[in-house]
Amino acid sequence: MNEPKLPQHLTETTWDRILAQEEWEAEQCLIESINFEEDEACDLRFVQVIIRDCRLNNSSIKRLNALDVRFENCDLSNVDFSKSSIHRVVFERCKLVGTIFQGSSLGDVTFESCKMNFSLFNETKLKHVLFNQCDLEQSDFYAVTHQFLQFEQCRLSGLQMQQTDLTTLDLRSSQFTHLTVDLERLKGCRVNMEQALILASLLGIRIE
């Protein structure tokens, strides 16, 4: 997992300054405590940026190009990040309830202590992506292509992973009461005993 490469000193900027440019981009910047709710800013480009204590909920930020970025304590609920390119990025203590990543490419991305219920990752490409201590209940990972995808101490009840290969996944440290998966793609998935009993019910097996 490659961490974001950030310089020691960043220049503070505002959302208005970014959107006032002909091309919407920010590089080597710090963006703090801005409110950009229920608005639209597609085709943004962020390189070596920290975004801290910001509210972007219910906004359309499709086709975001983010490289070496940290989102810290931000509300990104219901943000539409469809068809984005997100690489060497950390989301830490963020709210991403209902956030849409559909059709995006994520590489070397960490979600740390995030609330992510009902988030949509359908048809994404994930490589070296870690979810650590995140709440992902009722989220959708339909038809995801992945390499080195990790779930560590997450809440996964109601997670939908149809058309997604579970062969290399290790779910032992996470919690769930039910999942929606394709049984033929489950072989090789590592689970603990309690989880194995839950998954056995998908096969119609009754253990008494």
Alpha carbon distance 172, 192 (integer Å)? 5
pTM of the model: 0.94
Q: How high is the pLDDT of residue 180?
A: 92
How many whole angstroms from its chain centre is CA 104? 10
Q: Which CATH superfamily is domain 11-161 in?
A: E3 ubiquitin-protein ligase SopA (2.160.20.80)
Here the tokens at position 160 are 């939908």
Segment 45-53 mean pLDDT: 97
| 42 CB-near residues (< 8 Å, 6+ apart) | 60, 61, 62, 63
What is the mean predicted confidence (pLDDT) over 33-47? Answer: 90
pLDDT of residue 204: 63
**pLDDT confidence bin for 107, thresholds 50/70/90:** very high
Name the band, by pLDDT with cuts 50, 70 and 90, for residue 19. confident
State the average pLDDT over residues 127-135: 98
Q: How far apart are the first and last CA of the chain?
A: 43
Question: How big is the CA angle at 142 (ends 139 and 146), to the nearest 5 degrees?
Answer: 100
Residue 117, both tokens: 């219920």
